[in-house]
Amino acid sequence: MFKETDKKFKFETETLRKGAYVDFPVDNPESMPIYLTTAYNVEDLDDLQARYDAKGYCYNRNRNPNRGALINLMTYLENGEASIACSSGMAAISTAIISNVKQGDHILSDKTLYGETIELIEDLLGNFGVESTFVDFTDLNEVKAAVKPNTKLLYAETIANPMITVPDIGAIAKIAHENGAILVVDNTFMTAYGFKPLDHGADLVVNSLTKFANGHSDSVAGSVTGSQKLITKAHALQVLVGSSLDAFTAWLVQRGIRTLNLRLKKQMENALALAKALEKSPYVLKVNYPGLESHPQHEFAKKQFPKGFGGMLSFVMPDDRKKINEFMRKLNLAHYAMTLGGYRTTLSHPVMSSHSTVPESVRRAMGITDGLMRVSIGIEDTEDLVNDFIQALEVFKK
């Protein structure tokens, strides 16, 4: 604790010490204060030891109260025993994976994933001698057949980016456990509002909190949640690589999450309405949304996602760049942004953003074409949103 003393020091010294506290006690603020401090003053070596023993606050990279508060919230939401909060979704994904594999191990992963996750598993971890295979996780026979004696980790997204496919997390967890492996699930697209992977047997759940969880497109953050044992390992790695989330961003994300249920409910309603309208449009070749009867996993998705089918969809337009540009310029409400999950509807073009680093042959195998547009649905008035897409699609009229 910083020492207040009656002893008087010179101007240069007092400038460093005065004003550290206010006179009136500031207990129980309605909103949690932001702890912008790198470290905490320690009374003596016994105090230091007590802090180590109680996992108390010493240094910001290890622990910070705002990160702690967000961690408690995520642990509750995802129904785990513990969490870590990371400087981005990718920091969370890499910490979750790297804390559980070593040279010679094999990762078995869904072939449809966020592009940089594929790059992390295949290229970065490949350079360190970790093997990987990517198969279609909506085909359980393919998953079973691809397991190897050295498979240590299976990896899936609740709703896979950008084809919006829905793997059966419970069945995949069973395959992982029967083979002595763990399952890590990225729940970014659905969030704990719509689905809790740990309740279905996943061992770790990762979230890019940058997206729907925070929901305001103003912060980059991530989390990993799971058992105390796995999170202790992940936290140890996080401290070494320095992927800890800063206090201010942790505070912003926690504030954003307070309205998660309201936003997701409306985003899911809007997504279903827009998906149905796009499916009827003569200018749209295909719509990928689990709430549509045409979606290959629709019946299963109804069981897995009782609250709704999420706020993400993708749809296919003719591969005509000029017309696609015209369509984008004609939209009044949905603008292009290289993110997702915000309160406003945004567009993204997987070929030119999220999957630009994925080789074209792999992209094609996933079904990602130049005409594929991914839409992250916002909380606009439903009619306004649908009408705006429909009028913009008129550019495809001959």
> Which residue has its beta carbon closest to ligand PLP?
89
How many CB atoms within 10 Å of residue 304? Answer: 20
Determine which residue in the list 83, 88, 151, 249 makes contact with ligand PLP, applying CB under 6 A: 88
Q: Are strands 286-288 and 222-226 parallel, antiparallel or unpaired?
A: unpaired
Determine if 246 is a binding residue for ligand PLP (CB under 6 A).
no
The three-state secondary structure class of 375 is strand
Determine if 100 is a binding residue for ligand PLP (CB under 6 A).
no
* Tokens encoding 79: 């129904």
Determine if 157 is a binding residue for ligand PLP (CB under 6 A).
yes
Alpha-carbon span 327 to 193, nearest angstrom: 32
The residue among 189 and 389 lying less far from ligand PLP, judged by its C-beta, is 189
Q: Which position among 111, 196, 211, 374 bears the catalytic label?
A: 211
CB-based burial of residue 34 (10 Å sphere; 0-12 exposed, 13-18 middle, 19+ buried)?
middle
Determine if 186 is a binding residue for ligand PLP (CB under 6 A).
yes
Alpha-carbon span 221 to 253, nearest angstrom: 8
Q: Minimum CB separation from ligand PLP for residue 163, in Å?
A: 12
- Chain centre distance of CA 253: 12
35 closest CA partner among 254, 260, 231: 254
Is 263 known to be catalytic?
no
Only one of the segments 42-50, 87-95, 231-239, 322-330 lies at the binding site for ligand PLP (rule: CB under 6 A); that segment is 87-95
Is 265 known to be catalytic?
no
211 closest CA partner among 266, 154, 263: 263
Is 388 known to be catalytic?
no
Q: Which position among 114, 155, 193, 289 bears the catalytic label?
A: 114
The residue among 86 and 386 lying less far from ligand PLP, judged by its C-beta, is 86
Is 319 known to be catalytic?
no
Instruction: Give the total of residues touching ligand PLP (CB under 6 A).
Output: 14
Look at the alpha carbons of 254, 257, 77, 184 in this order and tell me if their dihedral is positive or negative. negative
The residue among 211 and 386 lying less far from ligand PLP, judged by its C-beta, is 211
Determine which residue in the list 161, 223, 249, 254 makes contact with ligand PLP, applying CB under 6 A: 161
* Tokens encoding 14: 């007092």
Q: Minimum CB separation from ligand PLP for residue 186, in Å?
A: 5
Determine if 311 is a binding residue for ligand PLP (CB under 6 A).
no
Tell me which H or E stretch contains 48: helix 45-53
The single residue listed with the structure tokens 């498979």 is 151
Determine which residue in the list 83, 100, 188, 249 makes contact with ligand PLP, applying CB under 6 A: 188
Determine which residue in the list 64, 138, 210, 244 makes contact with ligand PLP, applying CB under 6 A: 210
Alpha-carbon span 388 to 278, nearest angstrom: 11
Q: What are phi and psi of 130, to 5 degrees?
A: -95, 125
Question: By the 8 A CB rule, do 368 and 259 touch?
Answer: no
The residue among 186 and 388 lying less far from ligand PLP, judged by its C-beta, is 186
The residue among 220 and 395 lying less far from ligand PLP, judged by its C-beta, is 220
- Chain centre distance of CA 381: 26
Alpha-carbon span 213 to 171, nearest angstrom: 26
What order of strands is seen across the sheet that includes strand 346-348?
A: 286-288, 312-316, 372-376, 346-348, 335-336
Q: Minimum CB separation from ligand PLP for residue 314, in Å?
A: 12
The three-state secondary structure class of 387 is helix
Q: Minimum CB separation from ligand PLP for residue 58, in Å?
A: 27
Determine which residue in the list 132, 208, 244, 314 makes contact with ligand PLP, applying CB under 6 A: 208
Q: Minimum CB separation from ligand PLP for residue 65, in Å?
A: 22
Q: Minimum CB separation from ligand PLP for residue 48, in Å?
A: 34
* 266 Cβ contact partners less than 8 Å away, ≥ 6 residues apart: 379
Q: Which position among 61, 144, 255, 323 bears the catalytic label?
A: 61
Only one of the segments 83-91, 246-254, 269-277, 372-380 lies at the binding site for ligand PLP (rule: CB under 6 A); that segment is 83-91
DSSP state of 251: H
**Binding flags for ligand PLP, 269-308, as an x/- string (CB under 6 A):** ----------------------------------------
* Tokens encoding 303: 């069981």
Instruction: Give catalytic residue positions.
Output: 61, 114, 186, 211
The residues binding ligand PLP (CB under 6 A) are 88-90, 114, 157, 161, 186, 188-189, 208, 210, 220, 222, 354
